[in-house]
Amino acid sequence: MPAFNEDALDRFITQASYARITPHMVRQVLAQGPGTVIAYDLASAKYRVMGPGRVTEESEEQAVTVWGHGDIADELPRQRDMGVTMTQFAEALSETAFGYLLEWHEEGQALHWVEQARQALATNGFHLDRRSDRLAPGVIRDHFVALPEPELRLAVKYRHTSRARRFQVQMRLWDLGRQVSGAVFATTRVATGRAVTYHLRQAMARRARRFRPQF
């Protein structure tokens, strides 16, 4: 994560607390569809909407995803049923995003090899669709959607192993809410992109065989 001295940390917290997600941003995410996210831009200290694939073009030192289309599309109907307005909903998203940014700062940004995995998946048509789950120090779970096949979802959990140069990756592929394939494998910093691409293609091939039409 960026190096924060005490003054810089205070500034980060203050700026992040003032940043606001607007109803217009929420509507943009819904209009642009799966793979669209709201990210906190560390340079401008503001939130911005990023379309599919854009978020993987920048590191977490530049932009931190705080909400994704999947998060918002799931939550908005529940909030509307409770009578919440779009303005109130956007304000609630801002408050929760601020808490997430504090957690991000405490736990640390995703390691470079995790960002390599995200880039490899985006190249293969899978884009971040939700904010990452920070399950424990050194353990992150990402959520991806396939475009142009949004019925396909991919959950990827990254974990440090006891060997400093190796990392464990768990992939689960879902089709219309049903898990259809998965893999657990170890990788290294330099091989992450190739390993993730290989296991994703294997998972897609298993799905294709499983659902091959019978004539």
Q: What confidence score (pLDDT) does residue 82 get?
A: 95
pLDDT for 3 = 52
pTM, two decimals, is: 0.91
d(CA 18, CA 94): 9
Q: Output the pLDDT for position 215.
A: 47
101 closest CA partner among 8, 15, 6:
15
Q: For position 57, what pLDDT does the model report?
A: 83
Q: What are the two backbone dihedrals, phi and then psi, of residue 139, each rounded to the nearest 5 degrees?
A: -125, 120
The pLDDT of residue 163 is above 70? no
Section 4-15 average pLDDT: 83
Q: 90-148 pLDDT, tens per residue?
A: 999 999 999 999 999 887 777 788 999 999 999 999 999 999 999 988 899 999 999 99
Q: What mean pLDDT value characterizes the chain? A: 91
Length of the chain: 215
Q: How far is CA 214 from CA 174, 182, 210, 211, in A?
A: 21, 24, 11, 9
CB 203 within 8 A of CB 181: yes
pLDDT above 80: residue 213: no
**Assign residue 138 a region: left if phi > 0, alpha if psi is -120 to 50, beta otherwise?**
left
pLDDT in tens, 180-198: 999 999 998 889 999 999 9
Task: Give the pLDDT band (50/70/90) at residue 71.
Answer: very high
